[in-house]
Chains A and B, each alone.
Chain A
Amino acid sequence: MITGTPKPIEEILEMIEPYDDIIVAGCHGCVTVCRVGGEKEVQVLASTLRLAREASGRKIEIKEVSLERQCDPEYVETMRPYVEDHQAVLSIACGAGIQFLAEKFTATPLLPGINTGFLGVTERQGEWAERCQGCGDCVLHLTGGICPVTRCAKSLFHGPCGGSVRGICEVDKEVKCGWQLIIDRLVALDQMENYGKLKPYKGWNSARDGGPRRIIREDMI
């Protein structure tokens, strides 16, 4: 899922300072699962903002909505009938959802209520960890299902490097060396021959380096 963390309430209050009537928009997708931008978080944020503003002597009207997904036009369009009745939209979806609303509703300022994080997994309640950087050229079949792009701090393709000490990465003592994990897993699977199958270099043209990416599936158009 796409993860995120709430922005500090002080930052949001500063963002909405010019407005007296806004929409707080959540999303039922990833941000609901990681408890940062779903229907409940919309209710809590809207209440918090109303209380803060009223206590400061300047009330704010807030319409609370939560879309099935802010990254799909069919759901975004459901906001169109009323979006211009409000001065701004504070979205607590991921950065993709917020930008999609901004593209669709060009006359209304869009404000981000969360900081979008990474593509990750729930390791336990309240703890998420990165697993994928969307490089566009997956090699997990050769690396024991552990991603060298994400799990190695340097995104090396033939690690471990000299910064790996007893399975721990030099960047942080809490970070396991991705390549140590890969080697251990390949040994356990009796697949060490896969280590030699890795490409001598990785082409990054399918990753972010080529600018914003687009997927076109002709079979679905």
Chain B
Amino acid sequence: MLPCTGRIDEALLLKAFENGADGVMVVGCLEGDCHYVNGNIRARARVKRVYGILEKINIGPDRVRMYNLSAGEGSKFAAYSNEFVEQILELGPSPINVARGATGQVTSQEEAA
């Protein structure tokens, strides 16, 4: 959990995939409503750069997505989460996890623990 999506950078998002994530959901405050002025705008640009990276290495840009909502929109958060999970289930395991599954490796740090 980060206090602001402005702390998100490309390396953190990619690390999640290295650690076995099939998809990464970035949830920031509404644009124009950032407590740190433009953290969520910076995050949007970084997420966009990660789309490009994932596309080039055939993992697919659809596995990362940014949503914007306010802290008071719990039901919207639940709806976005369900929507993203559905999207990832449709895509199936990431090529990393497929490769790890083929070689019998654990697919995430949690499993390793």
Q: List residues of A whose CB falls within 8 A of some B CB.
A: 8-10, 40, 43-44, 47-48, 50-52, 54-57
Q: Which of B9, B59, B98 contacts A51 (CB 8 A)?
A: B59
Q: Is the CB of B15 within 8 A of A47?
A: yes
Give the residues in chain A near B94, CB-CB below 8 Å. Answer: 55
- Mind listing 7 A-B residue pairs with CB under 8 Å? A8-B56, A9-B57, A47-B15, A51-B14, A55-B58, A55-B96, A57-B102
Q: Is the CB of A9 within 8 A of B99?
A: no
Instruction: Report if A44-B11 is in contact (Cβ < 8 Å); known contacts: A51-B17, A55-B95.
Output: yes
- Quick one: closest A residue to B50, CB to CB? A44
A55-B59, A56-B99 are known; give 20 further A-B pairs, CB within 8 A: A9-B57, A40-B9, A40-B10, A44-B10, A44-B11, A47-B14, A47-B18, A48-B14, A51-B14, A51-B17, A51-B18, A51-B57, A51-B59, A52-B57, A54-B100, A55-B57, A55-B94, A55-B96, A57-B99, A57-B102
Q: Is the CB of A54 within 8 A of B96?
A: yes
Q: List residues of B whose CB falls within 8 A of some A CB.
A: 9-11, 14-15, 17-18, 53, 56-59, 94-96, 98-100, 102
- Quick one: closest A residue to B56, CB to CB? A9
Q: Is the CB of A48 within 8 A of B9?
A: no
Q: Is the CB of A48 within 8 A of B99?
A: no
Name the distance in Å between A48's Cβ and chain B's nearest Cβ: 5
* Complex-state Cα separation, A122 to B76, whole angstroms: 41
